[in-house]
């Protein structure tokens, strides 16, 4: 079992990181993809602590759409920051990157420029992308498609419709389901979780955010990816053993470096 997206270097875990890692291992989580902000040096320092604490961690880094606004008119500088972060954090993926038109913390044209630049960097480095897209599926798909056939990756914390999922699948992207799928009113997302082809499906926590039922409202942690796993198995009406094997294979197909962690 893997958690394909969490923020273990977040200050929320600084005080009890070892316990959080113990919980994850005890729950059968053998590895996680830890997302880092490329433009956050304090988090990079904590990432070294995370790296030392658990061999099961691999890193992804990128400039989040919420922070893109800081790079208005300086996309070349943002590229340098991203490239340096990819190297210094030994990142195996670029992300999370994308577009967020729900919060609109950054001007949309700046979000698009910074996102497109990062897709190009991922292409050059031959790394997958981890996509954050909120109320922005049209522009997200357009920018990914414009990146060329080598662009590959995952739509993280997918909350769109079946039709929107289909468009991401048309680009050969993976769809990652978060703990939102356990929320009582998330029937539409469970429908998506049942719809996605078995070989395109991933699961994640997005910890410390989005704790699943029955932990809703608490700080989320990678161990609780199990709750989402069980809900997805139920939604798809498949045996948990089979789903577990499939999800592990999918994670390793997208992120082979997670296969090198000690068991």
State in angstroms the smallest separation of the CB of 212 from Zn ion.
15
State in angstroms the smallest separation of the CB of 263 from Zn ion.
26
Task: Give the residue with the Cβ less far from Zn ion, 157 or 196.
Answer: 157
State in angstroms the smallest separation of the CB of 162 from Zn ion.
21
**Using the rule CB under 5 A, is 112 a contact of Zn ion?**
no
In angstroms, rounded to a whole number, what is the distance separating the alpha carbons of residues 172 and 94? 17
In angstroms, rounded to a whole number, what is the distance separating the alpha carbons of residues 176 and 174? 6
Question: In sequence order, what are the residues at sequence separation of 6 or more whose Cβ sits closer than 8 angstroms to the Cβ of residue 175?
Answer: 154, 155, 158, 165, 168, 169, 192, 196, 200, 201, 202
Task: Give the residue with the Cβ less far from Zn ion, 37 or 247.
Answer: 37
State in angstroms the smallest separation of the CB of 242 from Zn ion.
28
In angstroms, rounded to a whole number, what is the distance separating the alpha carbons of residues 149 and 87? 24
State in angstroms the smallest separation of the CB of 163 from Zn ion.
21
Q: Return the residue nearest Zn ion (CB atom).
A: 132
Task: Give the residue with the Cβ less far from Zn ion, 113 or 204.
Answer: 204
State in angstroms the smallest separation of the CB of 237 from Zn ion.
28
Side-chain-side CA neighbours of residue 38 (13 Å): 33
Exactly one of 39, 206, 221, 227 binds Zn ion (CB under 5 A); that residue is 206
Strand partners, 129: 94, 153
Exactly one of 58, 112, 132, 236 binds Zn ion (CB under 5 A); that residue is 132
Task: Select the span of 19-27, 92-100, 169-177, 236-244 touching Zn ion (CB under 5 A).
Answer: 92-100
CB distance 117 to 79 below 8 Å? yes
In angstroms, rounded to a whole number, what is the distance separating the alpha carbons of residues 125 and 61? 13
In angstroms, rounded to a whole number, what is the distance separating the alpha carbons of residues 216 and 209? 10
Contact footprint for Zn ion (CB under 5 A):
96, 132, 206
């Amino acid at each position: 079992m893997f958690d394909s997206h969490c923020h273990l270097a977040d200050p929320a875990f600084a005080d009890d990181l070892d316990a959080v890692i113990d919980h994850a291992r005890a729950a059968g989580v053998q590895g996680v993809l830890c997302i880092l902000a490329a433009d956050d040096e304090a988090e990079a320092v904590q990432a070294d602590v995370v790296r030392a604490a658990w061999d099961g961690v691999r890193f992804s880094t990128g400039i989040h759409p919420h922070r893109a606004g800081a790079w208005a008119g300086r996309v070349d500088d943002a590229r340098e920051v991203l490239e340096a972060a990819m190297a210094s954090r030994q990142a195996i993926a670029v992300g999370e990157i994308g577009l967020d038109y729900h919060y609109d913390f950054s001007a949309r044209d700046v979000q698009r420029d910074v996102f497109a630049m990062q897709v190009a960097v991922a292409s050059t480095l031959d790394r997958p992308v981890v996509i954050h897209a909120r109320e922005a599926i049209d522009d997200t798909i357009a920018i990914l498609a414009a990146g060329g056939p080598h662009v590959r990756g995952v739509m993280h914390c997918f909350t769109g419709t079946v039709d929107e999922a289909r468009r991401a699948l048309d680009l050969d992207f993976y769809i990652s389901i978060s703990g939102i799928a356990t929320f009582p009113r998330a029937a539409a997302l469970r429908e998506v979780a049942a719809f996605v082809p078995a070989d395109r499906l991933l699961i994640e926590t997005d910890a410390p955010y989005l704790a699943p039922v029955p932990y809703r409202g608490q700080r989320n942690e990678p161990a609780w990816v199990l709750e989402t796993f069980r809900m997805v198995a139920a939604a798809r009406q498949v045996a948990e053993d089979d789903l577990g094997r499939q999800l592990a294979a999918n994670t390793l197909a997208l992120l082979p470096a997670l296969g090198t962690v000690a068991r």
